């Protein structure tokens, strides 16, 4: 449908319009001082903890490593121990065998005694202790195969150990052979971490900090900030290693919040996206990190590196554009009443975001659903924005029984949306079986899982707010979202308005609710059409907070700033600066 043909429909929608003020950046003059600005990111933990962890300096961005620990303020505390080796591996102090093809070809040590390269966990310990690493290192240089061990909580914490053997008997034999009177066998503890030159059985250092994890910090050369390879990704900052429960290694990246954000932005948005959208993403990522301090404290870190928190992969995908977005928003984050907000975001909301209490948990005043007319400008760019699910009554009945606790209807006869949110998203669906019994969902999860939905923005069968129209945007691309009302902003670009109520566009391009409208009562009455229930929806994500594609559209098509984006998706927030 062209704009000329659409004008009568748009005119009919202009009911009770309130003229809204344009989006205006509100940056608070107040500053917030967070407890920490170093973020602890778990890279290997829990069921994904590993027997050994390789580190390598990125060429030109570091040379060798310092050893120590991180204090309660998350500052690295060196103990004076170091190595010039650029490729090292931390491993459990057990008998370990090098497997060069393991860990996707990067190589890994695993527990065992059979192999070409074996690192034994029984060592000969000399009877003297030293107060400094350098003193112990000088003594170790006098013995073939010797290395330094750090034992915490001792006036002379540095020990000299010789050799590596796979049995205590072999170590005892070595003591007699070497004629080392007073030497003993050291088999480490459940906390001991051994550092070797990667791919060899050459031990460089051992660390036993008791309950304190080993800290490893790359040594800087020149002016370039160090970067370190871990499992195919380049990271800023240092690393901590703990054998939680005395077993496999938990690996944590200890990274400044700005460097952390640089490792999130290019993985949560395309690194070619508009700068203002990337800035909005940087602000959300930085604020989410501050809000999430200690989220996974039971595992020894703040945030995980995946979508459960937010995707963090370090430097690989970063470029000048994403780094610029972080640099130009450095120290800024989103607050509500002076505290960090929960800046949730997702790919696309389908036409409207949603109140957080309708998705996850208790209401928050800044996580309110908003009508989103901006996503429509980018629909032609968004893969699988429109989605469809079809089920026969038997298929849907079986699926609901298998996936939704408490659903015990017989064969489903009708499926109807019975409650919408103020922004037009589906809240309640009522299922009726062939015996007339009914079941209505009580949670979002029941719908998402039971019906295999991407968002709560959908229609079922012919039950919809309007018959729908296809129009064209300014690029001549068709727009056919599941919301079926449209308006035109000040730039003359048509934008889809959400279903569930009547809306109009103000002169500033803002969607305004005009009047509510119940769903049509005609049509199939919720019964299957041609033998199937058909669900049609738009968007992809949880619908709380910022739409990433909406941010793209606001920046690219509407020339709006990152402040505009943040203030549109998060109600009543301020943009506040960090003080350190």
| Mean pLDDT lowest among 29-43, 134-148, 547-561, 564-578 | 29-43
Stated as kind and residue range, the H or E segment containing 451 is helix 444-451
Same domain flag for 482 and 521: yes
**Reported confidence tier of residue 467, pLDDT bands at 50, 70, 90:** very low
Same domain flag for 96 and 220: yes
Domain total in the chain? 3
**Rounded-to-integer distance, Cα 15 and Cα 513, Å:** 9
CA distances from 256 to 62, 207, 235, 330, 384 (A): 17, 25, 11, 12, 36
Task: Please report where in the chains the tokens 């299922």 appear, as a residue.
Answer: 431
Same domain flag for 451 and 382: yes
Q: Is the pLDDT of residue 26 over 80?
A: no
Same domain flag for 511 and 560: no
Same domain flag for 20 and 71: no
| Residue 13 placed within a domain | yes
Domain hosting 193: range is: 51-248
pLDDT score, position 222: 87
Give mean pLDDT, residues 456-485.
53
Is-contact 511 505, C-beta < 8 A? yes
Q: Is the pLDDT of residue 499 over 60?
A: no
Stated as kind and residue range, the H or E segment containing 325 is helix 320-327
pLDDT score, position 14: 31
3-state secondary structure of 328: coil
pLDDT averaged over every residue in the chain: 87
pLDDT score, position 219: 96
**Rounded-to-integer distance, Cα 511 and Cα 262, Å:** 34
| Residue 74 placed within a domain | yes
Buried b (16+ CB within 10 A) or exposed e, 191-202: bbbbbbebeebe
| Residue 530 placed within a domain | yes
Number of helices (H), then strands (E), in the chain: 12, 37
Same domain flag for 515 and 391: yes
Same domain flag for 173 and 240: yes
The per-residue pLDDT for range 522-562, each reduced to its tens digit, is 467 799 999 999 999 999 999 999 999 999 999 999 999 99
pLDDT score, position 12: 34
pLDDT score, position 28: 52
Query: Residues of the chain with pLDDT > 70: what percent?
Result: 84
Of residues 247, 286, 316, 289, the one with CA closest to residue 44: 247
| Residue 373 placed within a domain | no
**Rounded-to-integer distance, Cα 192 and Cα 91, Å:** 9
pTM of the predicted model as reported, rounded to 2 decimal places: 0.85
Buried b (16+ CB within 10 A) or exposed e, 273-293: bbebbbbbbbbbbbbbbbbbb
| Mean pLDDT lowest among 388-392, 423-427, 476-480 | 476-480
- Residue after which a domain boundary falls, among 219, 248, 277: 248
Same domain flag for 262 and 229: no
- Residue after which a domain boundary falls, among 225, 248, 271: 248
Higher local confidence (pLDDT), 327 or 495 = 327
Same domain flag for 194 and 339: no
Of residues 447, 511, 455, the one with CA closest to residue 485: 511
3-state secondary structure of 91: strand
| Residue 412 placed within a domain | yes
pLDDT score, position 578: 79
Same domain flag for 7 and 71: no
The per-residue pLDDT for range 513-523, each reduced to its tens digit, is 433 344 544 46
| Residue 357 placed within a domain | no
Of residues 350, 389, 333, the one with CA closest to residue 579: 333
pLDDT score, position 392: 97
Helix, strand, coil shares, percent, the chain, to 5: 20, 35, 45
- Residue after which a domain boundary falls, among 182, 214, 248: 248
**Rounded-to-integer distance, Cα 66 and Cα 210, Å:** 19
Same domain flag for 108 and 219: yes
Same domain flag for 183 and 265: no
As a whole number of Å, the CA-based R_g of the chain is 30
| Residue 503 placed within a domain | yes
Give mean pLDDT, residues 438-453.
96
Partners of residue 251 on adjacent β-strands? 44, 241
| Residue 354 placed within a domain | no
**Reported confidence tier of residue 13, pLDDT bands at 50, 70, 90:** very low
């Amino acid at each position: 449908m062209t704009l000329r043909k659409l004008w009568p429909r748009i005119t009919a929608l202009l009911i009770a319009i309130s003229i809204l003020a344009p989006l205006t950046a509100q940056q608070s003059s107040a500053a917030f001082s967070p407890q920490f600005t170093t973020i602890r990111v778990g890279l290997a933990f829990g069921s994904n903890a590993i027997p050994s962890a390789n580190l390598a300096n990125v060429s030109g961005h570091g040379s060798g490593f310092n050893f120590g620990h991180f204090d309660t303020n998350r500052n690295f505390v060196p103990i004076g121990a170091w190595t010039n080796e650029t490729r090292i591996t931390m491993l459990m102090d057990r008998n370990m065998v090098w497997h060069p093809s393991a860990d996707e070809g990067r190589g890994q040590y695993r527990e065992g005694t059979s192999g070409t390269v074996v690192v034994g966990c029984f060592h000969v310990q000399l009877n003297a202790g030293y107060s400094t690493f350098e003193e112990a290192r000088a003594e170790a240089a006098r013995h073939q195969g010797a290395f330094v061990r750090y034992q915490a909580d001792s006036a002379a914490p540095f020990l000299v150990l010789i050799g590596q053997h796979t049995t205590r008997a072999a170590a005892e034999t070595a003591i007699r052979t070497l004629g080392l009177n007073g030497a003993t066998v050291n088999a480490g503890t459940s906390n001991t971490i051994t550092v070797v030159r990667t791919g060899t059985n050459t031990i460089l250092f051992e660390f036993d900090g008791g309950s304190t994890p080993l800290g490893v910090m790359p040594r800087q050369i020149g002016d370039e900030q160090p970067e370190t390879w871990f499992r195919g990704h380049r990271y800023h900052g240092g690393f901590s290693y703990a054998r939680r429960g005395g077993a496999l290694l938990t690996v944590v990246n200890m990274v400044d919040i700005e460097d952390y954000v640089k490792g999130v932005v290019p993985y949560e948005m395309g690194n070619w996206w508009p700068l203002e959208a990337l800035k909005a993403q940087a602000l959300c990522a930085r604020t989410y990190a501050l809000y999430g301090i200690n989220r996974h404290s039971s595992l020894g870190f703040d945030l995980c590196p995946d979508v459960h928190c937010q995707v963090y992969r370090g430097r690989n995908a970063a470029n000048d554009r994403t780094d610029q977005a972080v640099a130009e928003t450095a120290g800024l984050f989103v607050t509500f009443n002076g505290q960090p907000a929960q800046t949730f975001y997702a790919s696309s909301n389908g036409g409207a975001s949603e109140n957080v209490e309708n998705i996850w948990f208790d209401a928050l005043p800044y996580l309110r659903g908003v009508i989103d007319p901006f996503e429509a400008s980018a629909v032609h760019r968004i893969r699988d924005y429109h989605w469809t699910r079809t089920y026969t009554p038997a298929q849907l009945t079986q699926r609901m029984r298998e996936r939704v606790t408490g659903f015990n209807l017989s064969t489903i006869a009708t499926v109807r949306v019975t409650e919408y949110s103020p922004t037009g998203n589906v809240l309640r669906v009522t299922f009726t079986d062939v015996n007339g019994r009914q079941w209505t969902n009580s949670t979002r999860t029941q719908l998402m899982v039971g019906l295999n939905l991407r968002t709560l923005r959908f229609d079922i069968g012919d039950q919809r707010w309007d018959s729908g129209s296809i129009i064209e945007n300014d690029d001549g691309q068709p727009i056919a979202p599941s919301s079926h009302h449209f308006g035109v902003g000040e730039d003359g670009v048509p934008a889809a308005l959400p279903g569930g109520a009547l809306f109009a566009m103000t002169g500033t391009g803002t969607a305004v609710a005009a009047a509510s409208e119940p769903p049509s009562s005609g049509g199939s009455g919720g019964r299957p059409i041609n033998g199937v229930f058909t669900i049609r929806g738009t968007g992809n994500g949880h619908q709380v907070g910022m739409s990433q594609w909406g941010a793209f559209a606001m920046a690219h098509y509407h020339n709006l700033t990152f402040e505009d984006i943040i203030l549109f998706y998060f109600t009543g927030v301020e943009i506040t600066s960090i003080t350190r």
